Structures are given as structure tokens and as C-alpha cells.
């Protein structure tokens, strides 16, 4: 998306008059500008959170060190989000950015859902299927009390699914 905008800017296919560069980008390429910013911040947040969970699981033999490393990465993620919210020029911070991105994305794909644009139709279908699976998984996870189970039911130093006396036995039909 960003490379598309760079090509358009180099070609001069836009109205360059504006009070600032950001005003011009929002006026001429709002969807692309909003998408690149939201996807970058979201990608960084999910990367740091995933690494925090990974380090927590990888260091499970050393609970104090695992918690320290996990919360260190989580603090980096929340610090990045705090900085972004404090210094965001447009859209009123991360929640406003995500809200505007969702509106622009719905409008973008809403105008393209037909048989002439099969990838737009596939994107909407996959997004709805993914959203359904996430919601269903979260409801089942929380309703069955499994929220902290991966971290609290482990035997120190053992792999998940094993017992202190040896590996778990799995019946294969």
C-alpha cells in the first residue's frame, strides 16, 4: 500500500496544495495513510505481546525470570502505545485510528463486493470467518476457565501434556 502511494506521489497524480504534508496525505490518500499507520502499530503490538507470551512459556522452569521477561516485553508494548497516543497528530490516538481504519476498510470493500472483484469478496468472507472463530474461541476459553491454565497447571520443567513420571500416553484409534 505504501509503495502504491509513493508511485502515485512520484507520478504527480494528486493535488499538492495543503497546509502540511499530513493534511495532503489524508486528503488525497486517507485509506492508504490510515492503513499503513494502523497496521504498523498493530503489528508491533502483536509482535511484542507474542514474544512476551513466548518467553513466558520458554522460561517456564524459572517462574520469576519468565515473569520478569514477559512483563518487560509487555511494558515495551504499552510504552509504545502510550507514546503513540500522546504524539499522534491525527485520529485521536490508537482507538481513533483503528475506528477510522475500520470505517475506511468497510467502505473500500463495501464498494467492491461483486463478481468482478472476487478477491474483495474473499477478503470479506475470510475476515468474517476469522472474526467468528476468534469470538467463539475466546468465549469457550474464558467460559471453561482455561484463561490461566497453560501457566498454572504445569509441572516445573515438564512439557505441556506430560506427567512427572514420563510423557503422556495418547490413544490413537
If you average pLDDT over every residue of the chain, what do you get?
81
Dist. CA 53–CA 74, nearest whole Å: 9
Least confident of 78-87, 88-97, 122-131: 88-97
- Residue of 163 and 34 predicted with greater confidence: 34
SS3 for the chain is: CHHHHHHHHHHCCCCCCCCCHHHHHHHHHHHHHHHHHHHHHHHHHHHHHHHHHHHHHHCCCCHHHHHHHHHHHHHHHHHHHHHHHHHCCCCCHHHHHHHHHHHHHHHHHHCCCCCCCHHHHHHHHHHHHHHHHHHHHHHHHHHCCCCCHHHHCCCCCCCCCCECCECCCCCCC
Instruction: Tell me if 59 is assigned to some domain.
Output: yes
End of a domain among 98, 132, 166?
98
pLDDT at 139: 81
Q: What values do phi and psi take at 110, rounded to 5?
A: -60, -35
Instruction: Tell me if 30 is assigned to some domain.
Output: yes
Please report, for residues 51, 75, 111, the alpha-carbon distance to residue 27 in angstroms, rounded to integers and kept in the order given.
37, 35, 19
> What number is the average pLDDT over the span 120-135?
89
Instruction: Tell me if 134 is assigned to some domain.
Output: yes
End of a domain among 98, 130, 164?
98
Containing domain of residue 139, as a range? 112-155
> What number is the average pLDDT over the span 103-131?
87
77/126 same-domain check:
no
- Residue of 110 and 129 predicted with greater confidence: 129
92/117 same-domain check:
no
State percent of the chain over pLDDT 70: 83
Structural domain count, the chain: 2
64/130 same-domain check:
no
Least confident of 35-44, 58-67, 81-90: 81-90
130/56 same-domain check:
no
Instruction: Tell me if 166 is assigned to some domain.
Output: no
Q: Is the dihedral of CA 21, 26, 31, 37 positive or negative?
A: positive
Instruction: Tell me if 39 is assigned to some domain.
Output: yes
pLDDT at 86: 86
Q: Which three cell numbers stand for residue 7?
A: 508511485
pLDDT at 155: 47
pLDDT at 20: 83
pLDDT at 5: 82
> What number is the average pLDDT over the span 41-54?
92
Residue 95 has pLDDT above 50, yes or no: yes
Residue 76 CA to its chain's centroid (Å): 15
Amino acid at each position: 500500500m505504501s509503495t502504491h502511494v509513493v508511485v502515485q506521489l512520484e507520478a504527480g497524480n494528486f493535488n499538492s496544495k495543503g497546509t502540511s504534508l499530513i493534511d495532503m496525505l489524508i486528503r488525497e490518500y486517507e485509506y492508504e495513510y490510515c492503513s499503513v499507520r494502523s497496521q504498523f502499530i498493530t503489528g508491533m503490538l502483536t509482535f511484542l505481546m507474542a514474544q512476551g507470551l513466548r518467553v513466558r512459556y520458554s522460561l517456564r522452569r524459572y517462574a520469576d525470570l519468565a515473569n520478569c521477561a514477559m512483563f518487560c516485553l509487555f511494558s515495551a508494548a504499552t510504552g509504545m502505545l502510550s507514546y503513540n497516543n500522546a504524539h499522534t497528530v491525527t485520529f485521536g490516538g490508537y482507538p481513533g485510528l483503528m475506528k477510522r481504519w475500520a470505517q475506511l476498510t468497510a467502505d473500500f470493500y463495501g464498494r467492491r463486493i461483486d463478481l468482478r472483484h472476487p478477491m474483495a469478496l474473499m477478503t470479506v468472507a475470510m475476515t468474517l470467518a476469522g472474526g467468528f472463530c476468534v469470538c467463539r474461541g475466546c468465549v469457550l476459553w474464558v467460559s471453561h476457565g482455561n484463561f490461566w491454565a497453560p501457566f498454572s497447571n504445569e509441572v516445573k520443567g515438564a512439557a505441556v501434556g506430560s506427567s512427572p513420571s514420563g510423557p503422556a500416553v495418547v490413544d490413537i484409534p
